[in-house]
């Protein structure tokens, strides 16, 4: 490349980088600033609308209430994946939607709950949504044409199956409109009488359209008829301090990672640092473009992704150094380094992207929001590493940085016998995991809970107090919360202001009658509150059993999909088996950490576990890729030869394993040092997960593959 061309490309990249960084800065500067903000914030950071519905039936069953809460949760996710729905008292349901302040607009758009019907052409109701047990989008290949068809598969209740059989028998050859909130959303034709309790709606134009219709059918009709009781605008739970400290942590962490990359990798490290600035700007821009609601765990996830974004660069730079150390010229080393690093980068990121896609489709609430952020991070990190960093390196090389001293060189290291210590490593892992289960058992016997579940998981008591003056979020944290904690003997307290009033909602663990009376008296004695201005209700968890089930199934399906992909790419299921076992190991170790340290388990717990899954699988793929390369397609069966291959592969990738773990740890450590209490509780287990992920990739994954290869050799 000529110098003039290199200079032009460099100036163009730097100009784009400057422009994107400036625009990202304007977006960040308006975060949390009233309605003009450019990024939607969650309830924890900016508040939103709270709507309370009451069942028309005075004594609804617990099952109907549970079912209605879940269906409403799915319904309000169109406004934000971070919307929450929970039961209040025996017959009330509370909906909180972040980032909005017009309750009337939401009520109009949300419509009257429970209004999905199957009708005939004359408008008579044949079935309601409660007659449908389940609806799923699906595909099949036409046996005659071979063309792919998209359908919605319906499963009816026992009562619904009888109604559906009669309805289809009476309407063969006619349309059966599906009406949702008074609007016809589909009008399938009845081809024949259907009596088996299942049916298909065909003719859908795409799988997405089929899944959208299925979703509407699933959630469109509720088990209970509801009426609006009241609505209000609630303030942020955490306030400006949480945002400012998180942004400060991000800035300091970013600078530290950039300095680390420059010191460790010289000129390539400098180019990676520039690309990292662009990556950060693009991430902010993507949040705005895709209208993703940002919560405190989301901010932590983005900060974490900045640390992980350097992973691809570390893999590439390590490869370049190896080639220079082997006597290649800088130009040849750069070319070969990118070529050899490509498979590990692509495989590692695709496996994680598979997880993000599955979690986005199958998950709900926080899981879905996490999946969106994860997917964006993966795509942008690959783009900046494989495109931006590469062009920057080409430009700097063409402009004169051609000496090998600017890039460094790695000589062949003495192979470390990692497999020789495998039994010790297995024992250490087993002890930690068993200790976690023992701790769970002790706590279960002591207080009935194996983990320290937060209000998000177990519900509690919601107390609304009308104070004589308006308190700021900082005042609430410093003056009111300590009083509540003293009475409940529990640090798990959530508070929320109601905008335009002096009211504060205080959510605690479930309180006995005596504890409620003590709390009320403390409010009267210490703050001069009138007893008439205090009301309390029991509330359910915001993470329903269905949401937990969705998350578990999403992770299981994602794991299976990743296993299949690794099997396909590595042509050996033993690689896939080792990767999944290492992944399960990391999850169990972090679970043990939660159990033994008694960190609060709430919504951030799900995000933390999902982060560990993505991080773990990515680290494993890098080592497996090097084992595959060093095998060179051979079918070695000699245990000693295989042992040498594994030890050599882990040794060659050791610097990558250490450096990537270190850069990611730096970012999360800054969150822990500077963040507010709730984000510290997210960062601490993440740090444990990062250490565990680095340990398992180096000490366990290669050993697992070796055992599978020698014990289960192909005939």
CB 339 within 8 A of CB 346: no
In angstroms, the Cα distances linking 185 to 132, 177, 179, 212, 477 are 16, 8, 6, 10, 48
Handedness of CA 615, 616, 622, 625 (dihedral sign): negative
Whole-number Å distance between alpha carbons of 462 and 96: 14
pLDDT at 589: 93
Beta bridge partners of 535: 464
pLDDT tens digits for 519-576? 999 999 989 888 888 988 888 777 767 667 777 787 788 888 888 888 888 888 888 8
Give 38's pLDDT tier (boundaries 50, 70, 90). Answer: low
Q: Check residues 496 and 543 and name the one with the higher pLDDT.
A: 496
Q: Look at residue 112 and give its three-state secondary structure.
A: coil
**Residues with Cβ within 8 Å of residue 195, at least 6 apart in sequence:** 161, 165, 168, 169
Asked if pLDDT for residue 172 goes beyond 70, the answer is: yes
pLDDT at 112: 56
pLDDT at 217: 80
Give 699's pLDDT tier (boundaries 50, 70, 90). Answer: very high
Pick the closest to residue 22 from 254, 248, 284 (CA basis): 284
Of 138-152, 386-400, 678-692, the range with the highest mean pLDDT is: 386-400
Share of the chain above pLDDT 90, in %: 21
Pick the closest to residue 47 from 488, 405, 495, 604 (CA basis): 495
Pick the closest to residue 410 from 335, 327, 331 (CA basis): 327
CB 99 within 8 A of CB 46: yes
**80 φ/ψ sector (left φ>0, alpha ψ -120 to 50, else beta):** beta
pLDDT at 430: 95
pLDDT at 34: 43
- Residue 700 has φ and ψ, to the nearest 5°, of -115, -45
* CATH architecture of the region 116-221: 2-Layer Sandwich (3.30)
pLDDT at 274: 92
Mean pLDDT of 276-296: 82
In angstroms, the Cα distances linking 51 to 78, 89, 110, 234, 540 are 16, 14, 11, 10, 15
- Residue 643 has φ and ψ, to the nearest 5°, of -60, -40
Whole-number Å distance between alpha carbons of 457 and 545: 9
Of 81-85, 222-226, 240-244, 667-671, the range with the highest mean pLDDT is: 667-671
CB 235 within 8 A of CB 497: yes
- Residue 299 has φ and ψ, to the nearest 5°, of -60, -45
Q: E strands along 145-265, which residues?
A: 148-156, 178-180, 183-186, 198-204, 226-234
Tokens (6 digits) for 261: 């990359």
Residue 458: its H or E element: helix 455-458
DSSP H helices in 290-405? 296-309, 311-325, 330-362, 366-383, 389-398
Tokens (6 digits) for 26: 């304007």
Burial tier of 617 (Cβ tally within 10 Å: 0-12, 13-18, 19+)? buried
3-state secondary structure 373-432: HHHHHHHHHHHHHHHHHHHHHHHHHHCCCCCHHHCCCCCCCCCCCCHHHHHHHHHHHHHH
Tokens (6 digits) for 264: 């460790």
Q: Check residues 137 and 242 and name the one with the higher pLDDT.
A: 137
Q: Look at residue 633 and give its three-state secondary structure.
A: coil
Residue 462: its H or E element: strand 460-466
Burial 525-542 (b: 16+ CB within 10 A, else e): eeeebeeebbebeebbbb
CB 627 within 8 A of CB 646: yes
pLDDT at 35: 42
Asked if pLDDT for residue 431 goes beyond 90, the answer is: yes
pLDDT at 105: 67
Pick the closest to residue 255 from 299, 306, 204 (CA basis): 306
**Residues with Cβ within 8 Å of residue 183, at least 6 apart in sequence:** none
Asked if pLDDT for residue 43 goes beyond 90, the answer is: no
Burial tier of 607 (Cβ tally within 10 Å: 0-12, 13-18, 19+)? buried
Burial 338-377 (b: 16+ CB within 10 A, else e): bebbbebbbbbbbbbbbbbebbbebbbbbbbbbbbbbbbb
Tokens (6 digits) for 296: 């405190």
Whole-number Å distance between alpha carbons of 10 and 4: 10
Whole-number Å distance between alpha carbons of 88 and 594: 28
Whole-number Å distance between alpha carbons of 11 and 551: 46
Asked if pLDDT for residue 380 goes beyond 80, the answer is: yes
* CATH architecture of the region 460-539: 2-Layer Sandwich (3.30)
Asked if pLDDT for residue 700 goes beyond 90, the answer is: yes
pLDDT at 113: 57
Whole-number Å distance between alpha carbons of 48 and 110: 15
Burial tier of 578 (Cβ tally within 10 Å: 0-12, 13-18, 19+)? buried
301 HSE (CA, 13 A, CB side) = 31
Beta bridge partners of 231: 51
Tokens (6 digits) for 472: 């700021």
The mean pLDDT value of the chain amounts to: 83
Mean pLDDT of 607-634: 81
CB 262 within 8 A of CB 9: no
| Residue 263 Cα to chain centre, angstroms | 32
Whole-number Å distance between alpha carbons of 194 and 126: 14
Asked if pLDDT for residue 711 goes beyond 90, the answer is: no
Share of the chain above pLDDT 70, in %: 89
Mean pLDDT of 186-199: 88
pLDDT at 336: 93
The helix-helix angle for 240-289 and 654-674 (nearest 10°) equals 130
Tally of CB atoms within 10 A around 15: 10
Q: Where are the domains of the chain?
A: 57-107, 116-221, 240-432+545-711, 460-539
Asked if pLDDT for residue 36 goes beyond 70, the answer is: no
pLDDT tens digits for 88-100? 888 888 888 886 7
**Residues with Cβ within 8 Å of residue 199, at least 6 apart in sequence:** 153, 154, 156, 164, 168
Give 33's pLDDT tier (boundaries 50, 70, 90). Answer: very low
Q: Check residues 7 and 246 and name the one with the higher pLDDT.
A: 7
Asked if pLDDT for residue 114 goes beyond 70, the answer is: no
Whole-number Å distance between alpha carbons of 330 and 385: 18
Is the overall model pTM greater than 0.85, yes or no?
A: no
Mean pLDDT of 632-643: 76
Beta bridge partners of 463: 506, 536
pLDDT at 324: 92
CB 42 within 8 A of CB 370: no
Mean pLDDT of 347-373: 78
Strands 494-497 and 503-508: antiparallel
Strands 132-141 and 183-186: unpaired
Q: Look at residue 225 and give its three-state secondary structure.
A: coil
């Amino acid at each position: 490349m000529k110098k003039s061309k290199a200079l032009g490309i460099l100036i163009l990249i730097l100009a784009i980088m400057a422009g994107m960084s400036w625009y990202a800065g304007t977006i960040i500067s308006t975060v949390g600033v009233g309605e003009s903000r450019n990024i939607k914030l969650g309830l924890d950071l900016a508040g939103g609308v709270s709507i309370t519905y009451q069942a028309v039936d005075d004594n609804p069953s617990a099952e109907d209430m549970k079912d209605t809460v879940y269906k409403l949760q799915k319904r309000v996710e169109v406004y934000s994946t971070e919307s929450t729905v929970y039961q209040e008292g025996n017959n009330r349901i509370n909906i909180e939607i972040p980032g909005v302040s017009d309750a009337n607009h939401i009520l109009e758009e949300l419509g009257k709950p429970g209004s999905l019907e199957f009708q005939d052409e004359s408008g008579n109701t044949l079935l309601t949504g409660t007659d449908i047990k389940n609806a799923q989008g699906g595909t099949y290949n036409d046996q005659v044409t071979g063309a792919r068809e998209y359908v919605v598969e319906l499963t009816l209740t026992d009562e619904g199956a009888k109604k559906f059989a009669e309805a289809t028998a009476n309407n063969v050859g006619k349309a059966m409109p599906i009406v949702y909130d008074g609007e016809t959303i589909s009008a399938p034709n009845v081809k024949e009488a259907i009596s088996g309790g299942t049916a298909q709606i065909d003719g859908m134009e795409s799988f997405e359209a089929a899944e959208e219709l299925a979703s509407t059918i699933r959630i469109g009709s509720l088990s209970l008829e509801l009426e609006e009781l009241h609505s209000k605008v609630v303030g942020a739970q955490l306030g400006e301090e949480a945002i400012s400290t998180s942004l400060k942590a991000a800035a300091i962490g970013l600078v530290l990672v950039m300095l680390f990359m420059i010191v460790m990798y010289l000129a390539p490290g400098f180019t990676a640092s520039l690309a990292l600035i662009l990556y950060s700007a693009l991430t902010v821009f993507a949040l705005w473009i895709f209208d993703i609601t940002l919560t405190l765990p989301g901010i932590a996830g983005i900060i974490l992704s900045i640390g992980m974004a350097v992973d691809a660069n570390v893999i590439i730079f390590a490869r370049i150094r190896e080639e220079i150390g082997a006597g290649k010229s800088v130009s040849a080393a750069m070319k070969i380094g990118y070529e050899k690093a490509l498979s590990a980068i692509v495989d590692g990121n695709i496996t994680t992207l598979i997880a993000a896609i599955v979690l986005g489709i199958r998950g709900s609430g926080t899981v879905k929001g996490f999946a969106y952020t994860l997917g964006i991070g993966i795509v942008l990190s690959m783009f900046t590493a494989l495109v931006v960093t590469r062009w920057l390196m080409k430009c700097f090389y063409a402009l004169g940085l051609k000496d090998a001293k600017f890039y460094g060189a790695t000589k062949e290291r003495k192979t470390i016998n990692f497999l020789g210590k495998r039994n010790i490593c297995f024992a250490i892992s087993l002890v930690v995991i068993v200790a976690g289960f023992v701790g769970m058992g002790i706590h279960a016997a002591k207080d009935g809970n194996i983990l320290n579940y937060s209000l998000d998981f177990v519900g509690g008591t919601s107390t609304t107090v009308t104070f004589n003056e308006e308190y700021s979020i900082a005042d609430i944290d410093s003056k009111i919360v300590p009083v509540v904690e003293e009475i409940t003997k529990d640090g798990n307290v959530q508070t929320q202001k109601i905008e335009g009033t002096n009211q504060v909602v205080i959510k605690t663990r479930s309180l006995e009658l005596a504890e409620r009376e003590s709390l009320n008296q403390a409010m009267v004695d210490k703050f001069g509150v009138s007893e008439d201005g205090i009301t309390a209700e029991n509330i359910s968890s915001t993470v329903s059993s269905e949401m937990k089930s969705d998350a578990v199934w999403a992770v299981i399906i994602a794991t299976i999909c990743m296993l299949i992909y690794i099997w396909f790419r590595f042509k050996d299921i033993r690689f896939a088996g080792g990767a999944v076992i290492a992944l399960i190991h990391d999850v169990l170790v972090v679970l043990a950490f939660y159990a033994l340290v008694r960190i609060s388990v709430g919504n951030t717990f799900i995000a933390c576990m999902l982060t560990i899954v993505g991080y773990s699988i990515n680290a494993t793929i890098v080592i497996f890729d090097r084992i595959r390369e060093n095998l060179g397609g051979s079918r070695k069966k000699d245990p000693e030869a295989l042992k040498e291959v594994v030890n050599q592969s882990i040794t060659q990738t050791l610097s990558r394993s250490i450096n990537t773990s270190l850069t990611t740890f730096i970012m999360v450590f800054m969150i822990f040092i500077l963040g507010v209490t709730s984000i510290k509780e997210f960062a601490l287990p993440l740090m444990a997960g990062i250490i565990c992920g680095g340990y398992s990739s180096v000490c366990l994954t290669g050993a697992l593959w070796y055992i599978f290869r020698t014990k289960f050799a192909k005939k």
